[in-house]
Each structure stands twice: as C-alpha cells, then as structure tokens.
Chain A
C-alpha cells in the first residue's frame, strides 16, 4: 500500500496562546464580544472555554460554540483532540478551567452534574451491574422522587421505543453489547432531559451493529426532539448523523459546519484530510500566475479560482496589517506604563516586561508573514498544497488529462482504487469498474475535476480554494 494517510502530527496546529495576538484570535475575540448576547440565547453555549490539566497540558483551547434547540451536533476528531473532555465539561464531570458554559440560558459552570438536567450515554455503557434493566432505567427517576406510576409509564414507553421490553427483568451481564447499548440509550431517554450527551456510544460495537444503531439513534433523535451532542472519532458517523459537525484537533476547533459544507469546503488541510473516505490526495506544487505547475504537468485555473486566490491573500495582508497596528498600539501602551513609573510593584513590572517581549516577538513574526504575503501578491508565484478527492479524479477524459503509471489496483466490488504516483505524492483514484477490463492495468489517463480542486496555503494550511 503506497498511499500514505497524512498523519495528524505532520500538520502544524494553530497556536492560540492567550498572550500572542495573532490575526485569527484577535478577530474571533471581537466577534465573540459582539454576539455574546446572541450566544446565550441559544440552547447550549460555550464561550471561550478552556481546560488545563495540572501537568500543564492545554486540552481544550478557546472553545466557542452555540448549539440550537433540538440540534444534533457531532464533535469529531482524532484521539486526544479534546472532544470527550469538552463533552464532559458540558456534563459537569470535569471542571471548566476558564470560560463560560450556558445551558438553556443559565450559567452552569459550577452546577453539579446532578442539577444540570442532562442525560448521558457512556462509551462503556456504565450500567448499574446489580440492577435489572428496568431498575437501571428507573433509577434516575427514582432518585428524583417521581411517583411510581409515572416512572413505570416512562420506562415502558422508552423500552418500547428501543425494543428492549423483553429484557426488562434481566441484569446487564446477561445482555449482549448491542442490547446493553440500547439500555444505556433507554436510561438516557427516560429522563426527558434538556440535553443529550453521547460519548462514542458505538465504538464498542461490531461494524454491522454500528451501521444499524446509527440510523436508530438518528430516528430516536427525530422522535424525542432533544438537543443532542454526540462525540465520535469516526467521521462516517459524523457525516451521516449530524445537523452540524464540529471538527477538532489538538484541543482547537478546526471547523464548524453542516456535513455538506465541511465536505465541499474544508477550512484547512486537517479537515480536508480527516473527512471523507478514502482521504483526500495531497501534493505540493507551484502556483504561477494562475497556473498550477506540477512535476510533469500544468493545470490552468479558472477565472473564479484565480480571483478567489488573490482575494485570499489580499484579505490576509489586510488582516496582518490590522494585527500589527493593534499590537503596536498595545506595545506603546505597555512601554508608556513601564516608563511612567505608574507600576505598582516589581512583580507587575516583571510581567509587563515579559508581555512586552512576547509582543515584540509576535510583531516580528507578523511582519515576516506580511512581507511574504506582499511577495506572493506581487510575484504571483509561490508554493501551495494541492488537494483533490479520489472520487473527483476522472479516468480516461480528454483535455487536461495526463498519463499515470498504476502502482496498485484494488477491486472493491463495483469500483476500483487505483494507486499512482503524481508530482511527488502518492495518489488514489476511485474508478468505476466498468472502465477497467484488466486488473493488471499498467497505465491510465486521468483528469482532475477542475471545480473540485482544493488549494491550501503552505504556511498556515488554510484553504485558499
């Protein structure tokens, strides 16, 4: 298998340390302050939520999200990206290091999980081992002191919805994985809570069961109409189940949007490579005045694409200039403060000096970026990362097609995966089996669907196209 999946570590993450004012953080802070009122109106709102651990690790960085009522939101990302941590902060099982959490308009940071009116389904189901299925589902209602008949009605109703009525008097250890999963769902449904949280509920099931449970969960959501937050590392689950997807990596939100948006317009290389199977193909090439130059091939971009490219860098230039100005102002303020002897004590002076140092370093970096961007705009020539999905590579087309020698040909049923080398990268194309007679095929003509080309800036890996 020559096709290498891009590892998460290869992609440099966006750094958003509190002291460094880089353009994206500055913008986002402004935006957030403006719309704080709007945010809190939404059903679940997280504002600048951070999670620090004692050892110094920054697990969740500046998480901002608003979730509407009855929305099905999926947090997706690789292991360790902070999605489960965020979910647990919403549940109250982890403390929020900084930031604000609002549930149904109420500030909830310090409210214990018991009082938050949320229901949760755990990855390992976490059913009460010594209680029957009925008692497991009735437990949460019993501890809140509901009358017996109400409990009975709700439990039977949920059991019917989840088709577990025949197991009501069994204990968890007598159930299979899929059955336990349903009981865990039932236990959550019975609560009629404001928010439903699910932490990778399907990861412990086998593939077939996962597919059937996926649709059951979506149908369940439509019936009970509860706000749902679902965490998974499986992007297929995210794409098929979500109203909106939140893609996370290394503690940061990479992109928020509907499945369609994220698939067709990934905001950066990470999102592009994480969503979609098989993953997007990448390679570096040169952008020369509207044409992409590969090792053996050239590809001309359309007028709209060139416009978008130029607009991207102009905007970037503008943002950098703004940032530099704001930073300069802040530096001047701080220098003034230091020199005017209005500093209270040595500690404050020290911290001011330290902040000044970081500011100056940031300015230096920003000015470098500005110079580069200006260069790009002037010369219209720089390296870019080129991306195209396997399904957007057409075989045997006319103009703009190129010859490629096939390294490996894999049959998947009614389509083939063709592996070939292209301009220094390992590419994979999805081709319908009608176009291929012989599996030992040596070469093939391919063309890229021009509207589906993705370009990413080499430094920031943000999407240009």
Chain B
C-alpha cells in the first residue's frame, strides 16, 4: 500500500512538472515575436518621443550630443509651410486607395465571370505590378514619362496635348497617384476576387428571380456582400497611403514644390539630404514630424472606425 501511494505521488509530481514545462515552453515560444516587437518597435517609439524634444548636435543622432529644446521642434514643424504642403499632398495621395478599390472591384467582377476565357492569365497580368519592386516601377515609368523622349509624351505631343512632366508642379500629384494605383490595384483585385466567391450564389439567383437587373443586383447583393473586404482595404490602404514615401523619394528631388509627402519630408530632415532648403533639420525635427504624422494616422483611422460603426447601427 505504501509503495503504491508513493508511486502515485511521484507520478503526480511528474505530471505537474510536465504540465508546468509545457506551459513554460508555450509562454516562451509565443513571446518571441512580442519580444521582437518590444525591442524593435516599442522601445524605439519611446525613444522617438524623447528625441522629438531634443536638438541633435553635429553627429545628428548621437545621444550624448543631444540638448533639450522643449517644444521647439514641434513649433518649427507646425509652422513650416513645406510641412503643410506635405500634409496636403499626403492627403491627396490617399485618393490612391479608393481608386484602387473601384478599379479592383470592377476588374474582379469582370474576371470572375466563369464563361470568360483566360481568367487566370488576366488575374496574373493585373497582379504583376504588385510583385515588382517600387524601384523597378519607378524606373519603368521614369523612362515612359521622360519629357523629351518618353513614348507617352511623343504620342501626346503628336496629338497636340502637352507633355507630362513630373517637374511641372500641377502634374506631379496626379502622376504619382496614377503610379500608386498602377502598382496597388492588384492587391485589391485579389482580395475582391476572393470575396466575390464567398457571396452566396443562392442570393444572386433569388435576386434574378425577383426581377433585378444587373445594376440592381450589384447594389443590393454584390456591394453589400463585399462590404467587409471594402472596409479592410479602405482602412489599411489609407494608413499605407499616409506613409507613402518610396516612389516620391526616388522620382522627385527633396526640393520639389509638390509631391513631398510627410514621410519624405521626415526623411529629408533626418538625413539632411537637402541642406539648402533645410534651415533646421536633424533627428529632432524628424521625430517631431513623425509624431505629427502618427497623430494624423490615428485620427483618420478613428474617424473611419466610428463611421463604420455608425453605418452598422443605422442599418439595424
């Protein structure tokens, strides 16, 4: 009897130990990405907050050389006309997302018709710009849009319209928006294609029997059916648009009158890339500008979420 009791104790203890080990293992492995986030995202965020109140010394980012300057950085940024141009252009850039969504939905609907031949080919073609690096995209379009010998301009001038020119301030943003849509529409197409297949075909048939024509079917069945995807694309798309940077930095000089998004402005300040236009620059200004941008992003996202909730409530 006693031996058995002791055996049971040992087994119990072993089980407890095993279960504890299991839990420890689970805890450790699940936390690794979180640790990465802490180290490479959270801590930097705090440091950025600190830097935004500092003025860097000659070494630009060396901590030892930074001096506290209070709200000066923010004051500079918020009174800098170039910053506000940047805000305007960044908000303009947000047009890319709705355009991507509209074209994406149209193309996804056209391609989803089962009687259409070559569907996979079409899908692949539209998605091609998305897998290209932004640098490659810029290189292609820089050539195409070259004012003197780019093919587009040659055709346009022969018709009689003026040449497209990135350096023409009034044409800069439309061209950049077009580039954004050109590269980004593939993503929307894929998402909408998947969402369309999830629409209950029975409801579509019911609407046919009820007498709805194609337009009515779209508004009452298709559009509501892809609403969740639309919301996702809108939110993530706009957040991305607000941070757009690469194609602007590649194709436009930092001194360009238009087309300097907030992120580009930020980068310019950080890297001192244009000493002539940057009277004040450095990591401090850059951090301050980053936080302004972050507040803008959070603000817009909150508005979007509230609008979505309101719409959900009203249709109840």
Contacts and interface: CB of A to CB of B under 8 A. Distances in A.
A180 to B, nearest CB: 12
A161 interface: no
Contacts of A143: 210-213, 216
B114 to A, nearest CB: 11
A350 to B, nearest CB: 30
A92 to B, nearest CB: 8
A139 B203 contact: no
Interface residues on A, range: 20 to 34
Interface stretch (A5-13, A110-118, A149-157, A266-274): A110-118
Nearest to A91: B209
A203 B273 CA distance: 71
A60 to B, nearest CB: 18
A126 B206 contact: yes
Given A122-B202, A139-B220, A143-B216, A130 B315 contact: yes
A366 interface: no
B208 A113 contact: yes
Given A128-B220, A129-B224, A143-B216, A122 B211 contact: no
Interface in B207-260: 207-213, 216, 220-221, 224, 227
Chain B: interface secondary structure? helix
Given A91-B209, A139-B210, A126 B216 contact: no
A126 B316 contact: no
A133 interface: no
Chain A: interface secondary structure? loop
A247 interface: no
A171 interface: yes
A144 interface: yes
Contacts of B224: 128-130
A307 B212 CA distance: 59
A92 B202 CA distance: 14
Contacts of A64: none
Given A114-B213, A139-B220, A129 B208 contact: no
B65 interface: no
B22 interface: no
Interface in A104-156: 112-115, 118-120, 122-131, 139-140, 143-144
A118 B209 contact: yes
Nearest to B214: A114
Contacts of B18: none
Contact of B211 (A114, A125, A126, A171): A114
A93 interface: yes
B203 to A, nearest CB: 5
Given A120-B209, A139-B207, 8 more contacts: A93-B205, A93-B209, A114-B209, A114-B211, A125-B202, A126-B206, A130-B224, A171-B316
Interface of B: 200, 202-203, 205-213, 216, 220-221, 224, 227, 315-316
Interface of A: 91-93, 112-115, 118-120, 122-131, 139-140, 143-144, 171, 187, 191
26 contacts: A91-B209, A92-B208, A92-B209, A114-B210, A120-B206, A120-B209, A122-B202, A122-B206, A126-B200, A126-B202, A126-B203, A126-B205, A127-B203, A128-B203, A128-B206, A128-B207, A129-B203, A130-B227, A139-B210, A139-B220, A140-B211, A140-B212, A143-B216, A144-B211, A187-B210, A191-B210
